[in-house]
Amino acid sequence: MDLNTVVEVRDPRVPGPWLPGDAWLAGGTQLFSEPQPLVRRLVDLTRFGWPPVTLGGDLELAATCTIAELSRFGRDSGLPVAELVEQCCRAFLASFKVWNTATVGGNLCNALPAGPMISLTAALDGVCLLRTGGGERRVPVVDFVRGAGESVLTDGELLRSITIPEAALHRRSAFRQVSLHAHGRSGALLIGTADTGFALTITAATPRPVRLDFPTAPTAAELRSAILGTVTDWYDDIHGLPAWRRHMVLRLAEEIREELA
Amino acid sequence: MTGFEVRVNGRTHDDAPRPGQCLRTYLRGHGWFGVKKGCDAGDCGACTVHVDGTPVHSCLYPALRADGKQVTTVEGLATDGELHPVQEQFLAAQGFQCGFCTAGFLITAAALDDEGRADLPRALKGNLCRCTGYRAIEDAITGVKHVEEPADGEAVGRNLGAPAGPQVVTGTARYTFDVDVPGLLHIKLVRSPHAHARITGIDTAAALAVPGVRVVLTHEDAPQRLYSSAQHEIVEDDPCDTRVFDDVVRHVGQRVAAVVGETEAAAEAGARLVRVDYEVLPAVTDAHAAMRPGAPVVHDKDPVEARIARPADNVLAELHDEFGDFAAGLAEADAVYRGTFRTPRAQHAALETHGALAWFDAETGRLTVRTSTQTPFLTRRSLCALFDLPESDLRVVAGRVGGGFGGKQEMLVEDVVVLAALRLREPVKLELTRSEQFSGSTTRHPFTVEVEVGAKADGTLTALRVHVVSDTGAYGNHGPGVLFHSCGESIAAYRCPNKRTDAYAVYTHNVPSGAYRGYGLGQVIFAVESALDELAHRLGIDPLLLRERSAVRDGDPLTTASGAEEDLLIGSYGLDQCLDVVRAARAEPVGPVPGGWLVGDGAALSMIATAPPRGHFGEARLRLLADGTFELSVGTAEFGNGSTTVHRQLAASALGVATSRVSIRQSDTDLVRHDTGAFGSTGVVIAGTAVLRAAEAMVGALLGAAAERSGVDVSRCALVGRGVDCGGRVVPFSELAAGEPLTTTGHCDGTPRSVAFNVHWFRLAVDPGTGEVRVLRSVHAADAGQVLNPMQCRGQVEGGVAQGFGAAVAEHVDTGADGAVTTAAFRQYHVPTFADVPRTEVHFADVTDPLGPLGAKSMSESPFNPVAPAYANALRAATGVRFTDLPLTRDRVWLGLSRD
């Protein structure tokens, strides 16, 4: 929809202060989907022209990498995690058309429980590179999202990229997603990864991603107990009752454990 | 910004967009009206375009980014006058009804690769269609053809394509907002943040100071006169409880003021700056609580003047009737079931939002209102009464309407545009946003229905009672009608000597309820059909058998708890055939089922009157044109229901001509004298009868004129395609047109009325571990009388089933403690997608109705009604659990099973 309060689209390569009413613009698929009466300037990240995907051992995804670009990369990569990448792209409520403009970084910054790029990058030990005028910092994806719709970004800080360590790209993975509707928004999205250890990432069912790491593969009882010991807050919105989400997480976690055993 | 340039369908536009503008409005601003606004939030796909060959939702696409790019809209799909293959396919399969979503589907389908075409449920998840149920769209994309070209005079009973088809698939059909009105001003509404408050002051100074803001209209500018937004033939059917702008607000989202600006941006900015002071008052948002002593009173009005049954008790309307002796009947029963059933608020979700434009004719000074309405004539009458205008000074027209489902049997925007136009004497427009649709228009009435039913061991009913509470919300539009209708055919469908009804339509401080497909029947039918099913389980007899034993039979009187309705009768009876269809379907093998899943099947039936009670008028006029073709003018509106197609078939068949020789004008108060409009499933039965009568009169007029012209006796004159054979010499119609103008009119007053039947049956598989339900088979049997256009009637049934399926498994408008709608977007309010809707086998009973045109009955609302109870009954058969509250989403199903 039109953002009628916007008076300027700014090129961030031109130095200038961050002002009240400034908003980072990546794909625009979230920004333009709701009224933004407080936004006065769009600061256009795409002007940086960051290469979307850089693979040099570690994998660096620019914040402006579109879902379509990520999906293409995954398909062509031949990496063990390629299937997981595609599964997470497909976990979007949005269709392939929105993939053409929506970005990986935008999905993280929205910080919604059902953000599948959060699920993917959290499960693959992703680390966010954040930038302000003053400098940079690195924050693991699992810590980047603090709650439903809430991230660690400070005013004017931008998400530059997400780096996934090389080792994570070669792990075995198992993916489970459940929604109230076919191809609908995730009510629970779980990813298990395994090499010598085992890790489970729980998203969509919880307000923020939950990551459980085990040095060796857990037993069913250990996994269940770890989940129930860690997750105290089951997300409650129209996309699933909390009790059902809890049940589905336990069930899907066990399926993942068995699949990766 | 300099040097902006975009190529759209081969044409260059070089004026720069505004910084925050999306591509959708940029394109529409340049006349590319094929690009539609369904949601403006990226959820519905109606605005899909290609940017450099890549499909995107143009409402989410910053227009500035189109710089240097090639954009293709639906208008650019055809090349050199040749339709794109997907356009041809959508025409051949008639892959649309209202057509508002069609451009988005076409553009998306044109961009699909083999992988996408092989997985349509996924590929089309970003495109919503509310009308079709998607089967027709699937057929279009996969190349199935349905449209026929019938021989001259033989169109009835054949699959004639919709007359507007070529316009729909090329993006040239003109919907409400698809007009370019020079100097158009834009209206944005200020809405209440409170459930109940008195406005103590409105400061408009800051808003008026915004450049481009022309006026702010508040309750001080609005007529004092009270009315109802509901549109009915009989005005007294609804309470008069509404003002254009009131000094008391009664729900969050109620309109408080209108800001008129030279641009939408100016109007929006002004609306944000209107300062309203409120004295907040106590509110009640629960219908049962609203009836208790001491509850806040929603409308402190005179009961007689306002036509409210008991204003002090928040009771808008009530019904307390008994037929026979319910208590005695219950005492006779071998088994009794009592249960309470709840259905939630739901949204029509027509893809075209409410909206209207108004302008003055430069020469005559006459005001025209162009609006997305089902009732142009009633709306004109309401506007004239409200603003003291003579009807001759006001014209109301509808373009092609992008879906209705009852939601546009209301006056929700026209009053505001007329108020603004009268004030400014300039053209104005008000187009609601999708969010306003949810929080500021109307919804389906939420119902709580307690049913008590008793039967003998053989399934013969002895007693049937319903206790109904409907939440009409803050205003009573359609509240009485929906309540009374809800207890009508739902109860009359069963032979039972003892019936009792207690029903209340209750005011609350919630978003108003209104007319919605089924008009109350669906809510009570869900309860009654669930209860009868449960009773059958308790008696240990087949639920289908119980229905066969207890449902009305041909020749039976139709009695509710109030007794018999005088002009309603079983004009024709196809229920037995419908039940046979289900019986045959369920006898067939189940097929493969995943391990551990539970399987069950269930059915429900519904009956519906073929027209609304107490008068529904249709009028049609037929005129012979100079070229020997005919112009048919009908008053009723077309919003995807397909009645226009049937009107053309009826007229062409009666005249014995090719359908192409009948052109149609419609939905315009200048065309005919009066027409009640398109609601209550009347497009075929009433408007169609009027068309048939006009055509029959034209046949007589043609023969008479030809006889006179040729000097041959009329008994030796006969219609032959393009003229009249007068004893061997053919007088062409064009020759007759040269004489006295030939115009005929047909009327229908909608009485007496018959009934139509629908039976739905599901076989479901349920995963008790997750709550997931799969539809193994979905069968719908409809008694539509003679089916005048099988393709279209099937489409109506499928669309109704899909909407019923949405009500069964997905849809609920939620509200917070203050009544504010919390699900005000399609990403929260789940309208069924291609992936959700099961394919349904549709069967028609072989029936001819003596009352409908050429034996036809209505088939628009009714397919919706039995779907939810059939689903719940199948779920009960599979799991043993009776689910009483809709919708049955996976989480609720799982919870229900794990509690048991």
pLDDT for B761 equals 98
Q: Contact B56/A96, CB-based, under 8 Å?
A: no
**What average pLDDT does this structure show over B537-563?**
95
The pLDDT of residue B2 is: 62
Please check whether residue B816 touches A, CB under 8 A. Answer: no
Q: What residues form DSSP beta bridges with B503? A: B319, B468
Work out the burial of residue A232: count CB atoms within 10 Å of its CB; fewer than 13 is exposed, 13-18 middle, 19 or more buried: exposed
pLDDT for A134: 82
| pLDDT at B652 (0 to 100) | 96
Whether pLDDT at A89 is above 90: yes
Distance (Å, whole) CA A86 – CA B119: 15
How far apart (Å, rounded) are the C-alpha atoms in residues B366 and B393?
Answer: 5
Verify whether the Cβ–Cβ distance A32 to B771 is below 8 Å: no
Q: What angle do CA B423, B427, B430 make, to 5 degrees?
A: 90
Separation in Å, CA B101 to CA B33, B128, B347, B517? 13, 7, 17, 20
Q: Does pLDDT of B317 surpass 60?
A: yes
Percent pLDDT > 70 in chain B is: 100
Which tens digit of pLDDT belongs to each residue from B366-397?
999 999 999 999 999 999 999 999 999 999 99
What span, in angstroms and rounded, lies between the C-alpha atoms of B1 and B18?
A: 9
Say if the Cβ atoms of B269 and A5 lie within 8 Å. Answer: yes
Peptide bond connecting B887 to the previous residue in cis, omega within 30 degrees of 0: yes
What pLDDT, on the 0 to 100 scale, is given for residue B91? 98
pLDDT of residue B201: 98
Q: Tell me the nearest-neighbour CA distance from A115 into chain B, angstroms.
A: 14
Please state, in angstroms and as integers, the Cα–Cα distance from residue B24 to each residue in B78, B354, B552, following that order. 20, 18, 53
B740 — pLDDT class (breaks 50, 70, 90): confident
pLDDT band at B347 (very low <50, low <70, confident <90, very high): very high
Prediction ipTM score: 0.97
Mean pLDDT of B502-520: 98
Sign of CA dihedral B172, B175, B178, B179: positive
- Which among B40, B124, B891 has CB closest to A241? B891
Long-range contacts of B108-116 (CB under 8 A, 24+ apart): B108/A97, B108/B45, B108/B48, B108/B55, B109/B140, B109/B141, B110/B50, B110/B77, B110/B84, B110/B86, B111/A97, B111/B50, B111/B53, B111/B54, B111/B55, B112/B141, B116/A96
**Mean pLDDT of the region B452-461:** 96
Coil vs helix vs strand at A188: strand
Q: Do A183 and B122 touch (CB under 8 A)?
A: yes
**Interface list for B 231-290 with A (CB within 8 A):** 263-265, 268-269, 272
Kindly tell me the burial class for residue B747, based on how many C-beta atoms sit within 10 Å of its own C-beta (0-12, 13-18, 19 or more): middle
Q: Which of A6, A27, A97 sits opposite B20 (nearest CB)?
A: A6
A103/chain B closest Cα distance in angstroms: 13
Kindly report the nearest CA distance between residue A36 and chain B, in angstroms. 10
Contacts of A107 in chain B (CB under 8 A): none
C-beta atoms of A243 and B895 within 8 A: yes
pLDDT score of B899: 79
Chain A residues whose beta carbon lies within 8 Å of the beta carbon of residue B822: 238
* Residue of chain B whose Cα is closest to the Cα of A99: B56
Residue B636 near chain A (CB below 8 Å): no
Give the residue on B whose Cα is nearest the Cα of A177. B770
Question: If 0-12 CB within 10 Å is exposed, 13-18 middle and 19+ buried, where does residue B555 land?
Answer: exposed
Residue of B nearest to A8 (CA): B19
pLDDT at B154 over 80: yes
Query: Which residues pair with residue B609 across a beta bridge?
Result: B755
CA atoms within 13 A on the CB side of B468: 39
Provide the 10 A C-beta neighbour count for residue B118. Answer: 10
Q: How far apart are CA A104 and CA A63, in angstroms?
A: 6
Domains of chain A with CATH codes: 8-43 (no CATH), 51-167 (3.30.465.10), 172-260 (3.30.390.50)
- Given pLDDT bands bounded at 50, 70 and 90, which one contains residue B327? very high
- Enumerate domains of chain B plus CATH numbers: 1-172 (1.10.150.120), 185-281+351-403+408-440 (3.90.1170.50), 447-612+753-899 (3.30.365.10), 618-748 (3.30.365.10)
Q: Is the pLDDT of residue B1 over 80?
A: no
C-alpha B702/C-alpha B696 separation (Å) is 10
> Which residues of chain B does A101 touch, with a Cβ-Cβ cutoff of 8 Å?
56, 60-61
CA-nearest residue of chain B to A249? B770
Inter-chain CB proximity A180 and B890 less than 8 Å: yes
Beta bridge partners of B359: B368
Chain A residue with the nearest C-alpha to that of B63 = A2
Chain B positions touching A114 (Cβ under 8 A) are: none
Q: Which residues in chain A are contacts of B839 at CB distance < 8 A?
A: none
Chain centre to alpha carbon of residue A62: 13
Q: Which of B374, B407, B841 is nearest to B582 (CA)?
A: B841
A33: nearest CB among B19, B42, B890: B42
Is the predicted pLDDT of residue B900 greater than 70, yes or no?
no
Query: Which residue from A8, A101, A184 is facing B60, i.e. has the nearest CB?
Result: A101
Instruction: Pick from A93, A96, A237, A241 the residue to mutate for testing the B interface (most B CBs within 10 Å).
Output: A96
| A39 chain-B contacts, CB cut-off 8 A | 20
Min mean pLDDT across B462-476, B639-653, B806-820 is at B639-653
Could B59 and A32 be called an inter-chain contact, meaning their C-beta atoms sit closer than 8 Å?
Answer: yes
- Peptide bond preceding B752 in cis form (omega within 30 of 0): yes
User: In chain B, positions 37-96, which contact chain A (CB-CB < 8 Å)?
Assistant: 40-43, 45, 48, 54-57, 59-62, 64-65
Q: How confident is the model at residue B614, as a pLDDT? A: 80
* Burial class of B693 by CB neighbour count within 10 A (0 to 12, 13 to 18, 19+): buried
Partner A contacted by B836 (CB < 8 A): yes
- Percentage of chain B surpassing pLDDT 90? 95
d(CA A8, CA B1) in angstroms, rounded, equals 10
Reduced to 3 states (helix: H, G, I; strand: E, B; else coil), residue A41 is strand
Chain-wide mean pLDDT for chain B? 96
Average pLDDT for residues A83-100, to the nearest whole number? 96
Distance, in Å, from the CA atom of B553 to the CA atom of A212, rounded to the nearest integer, reads 64
Average pLDDT over residues B426-447: 98
Q: How far is B242 from chain A (nearest CA, A)?
A: 29
Determine the residue of chain B that is closest to A36 in CA distance: B20
- B455: tokens are 């039967």
Whole-Å CA distances, B794 to B143, B641, B774, B840, B868: 18, 11, 23, 10, 19
Who contacts B483 (Cβ-Cβ below 8 Å, separation ≥6)? B317, B318, B319, B445, B468, B470, B503, B504, B505, B520
- Going by pLDDT thresholds of 50, 70 and 90, the confidence category of residue B71 is very high
Most distant CA pair in chain A, distance: 58
What pLDDT sits at residue B613? 86
